[in-house]
Chain A
Amino acid sequence: MNSVGEACTDLKRDYDQCFNRWFAEKFLKGDRSGDPCTETFRKYQLCVQKAIKEKDIPVDGVEFMGPNKDKPES
């Protein structure tokens, strides 16, 4: 899948692979030993945030869970 920043697709792929592994093997199994993807995420974000600014995509200041703020149901 492509990133919105054309130059970021490889960095995105690296991060996605790291996240998918961590999510299935650690997070879902209750392992809280930390995030191995911090560095790959940082590199990916440097790239994608630049692309977002260049394309003027209005993501800044948008509240988490957006319209009609949501909370997880029990």
Chain B
Amino acid sequence: MCGLQRRTTVVFLFGCRPLLLRSGADMGRYFHSEVDIKSPWHQVLVAFWQRYPNPHSAHVLTEDVLYREVTPSNHLLSRKLMTKTNRLPGWAERIFPTHMARAVYILEDSIVDPQTNTFITKTWNLNHNTLMTVVERCLFQEDICRPSWTKLRREAWIFSNVYGLARPIQEFGLARFKSNQTKAMRGLEFALTRIQTEAPPHFHNDQEEPPDKHKPLPPQTTPTSSQTPRQCV
């Protein structure tokens, strides 16, 4: 779990007595899900890099790559910065009015390993941490039992340091995370559909061969997510 640092901060609210913020014993909320995506792993990755914008990502305002490197072991490391809207429930807006003024800055670091067909992402917020921190880890792996499918394991740790309000803040954070991950899956499916249905003029020109080795053609062209048993039959 993420370590919580001991600190005490005094916050003066309008016309209210000061709130004392200090580390609490609450270890936060944990979320995990496993989803089967009906598209091959390499195609999921191509879609992942192109998923913004999509009809479900209005809350994502900007997206930038800050760093990319191919390591000697042929792993692709990436760092992305995103800004997202900061939507709080009414009761939180009244208590933390300054937090409404700024968007949330989010880093997404990732590692692609084409040797093992695994892709790990780690995403967390850079600001608003005095209110709440959300760390998400995703693992995309080729389904070894069904190579035209991809398994996605998603985990999140949601915690707040606000004394006396950590639990409702974490509950709100968990609810918002669940809503966002539904949008994220729909956004990924949108990008997958777009990639699978459009002609690929982007990916080759007169000098290059058209793609052939990685031509993914699962029986159905529409990607879907579903919960299915994990054992190989």
Instruction: Give the distance in Å from the alpha carbon of A49 to the alpha carbon of B81 in the complex.
Output: 11
Binds A, one of B31-39, B59-67, B85-93: B59-67
Check if A28 sits within 8 Å of B214, measured CB to CB: yes
Check if B120 sits within 8 Å of A19, measured CB to CB: no
Instruction: Give the distance in Å from the alpha carbon of A21 to the alpha carbon of B66 in the complex.
Output: 18
Contacting residue for A66 out of B60, B62, B107, B116, CB 8 A: B107
Binds A, one of B11-19, B46-54, B167-175, B221-229: B46-54
Check if B66 sits within 8 Å of A66, measured CB to CB: no
Instruction: Give the distance in Å from the alpha carbon of A3 to the alpha carbon of B66 in the complex.
Output: 11
Instruction: Give the distance in Å from the alpha carbon of A49 to the alpha carbon of B124 in the complex.
Output: 20
Chain A 11-53 near chain B by CB (<8 Å), digits 1 or 0: 0100111011101110111101001000001001100110010
Check if A57 sits within 8 Å of B214, measured CB to CB: no
Check if A20 sits within 8 Å of B114, measured CB to CB: no
A4 CB-CB contact with B under 8 Å:
yes
Q: A1-B53, A35-B70, A72-B75 are in contact. Are A21 and B137 (CB under 8 A)?
A: no
Contacting residue for A29 out of B75, B83, B202, B213, CB 8 A: B213
What is the distance, in angstroms, from A20's C-beta to the closest C-beta of chain B? Answer: 6
Check if B62 sits within 8 Å of A2, measured CB to CB: yes
Number of interface residues of B (CB under 8 A): 50
Check if A58 sits within 8 Å of B127, measured CB to CB: yes
Check if B66 sits within 8 Å of A72, measured CB to CB: no
Chain B facing A: main interface SS? strand
Check if A29 sits within 8 Å of B214, measured CB to CB: yes
What is the distance, in angstroms, from A26's C-beta to the closest C-beta of chain B? Answer: 10
Chain A residues contacting B214 (CB-CB under 8 Å) are 24, 28-29
Check if A67 sits within 8 Å of B126, measured CB to CB: no
Chain A residues contacting B79 (CB-CB under 8 Å) are 64
Check if A64 sits within 8 Å of B62, measured CB to CB: no
Instruction: Give the distance in Å from the alpha carbon of A74 to the alpha carbon of B120 in the complex.
Output: 11
Contacting residue for A19 out of B68, B77, B116, B124, CB 8 A: B68
Q: Which residue of A lies closest to B117 (CB)?
A: A28
Chain B 134-169 near chain A by CB (<8 Å), digits 1 or 0: 010101000000000000000000000000000000
| A48-B66, A57-B105, A66-B122 given; 10 more Cβ-contact pairs under 8 Å | A3-B62, A15-B65, A21-B203, A23-B76, A25-B204, A25-B208, A32-B74, A64-B79, A66-B107, A68-B135
List the interface of chain A (C-beta within 8 A of B): 1-5, 8, 12, 15-17, 19-21, 23-25, 27-30, 32, 35, 41, 44-45, 48-49, 52, 57-59, 62, 64-68, 70, 72-74
Q: Can you pick out 19 interface pairs between chain A and chain B where the beta carbons lie within 8 Å of each other?
A: A1-B63, A4-B83, A17-B202, A19-B65, A20-B49, A20-B202, A23-B45, A24-B42, A24-B214, A27-B114, A32-B70, A48-B64, A57-B105, A58-B126, A59-B105, A66-B124, A66-B135, A70-B122, A73-B120
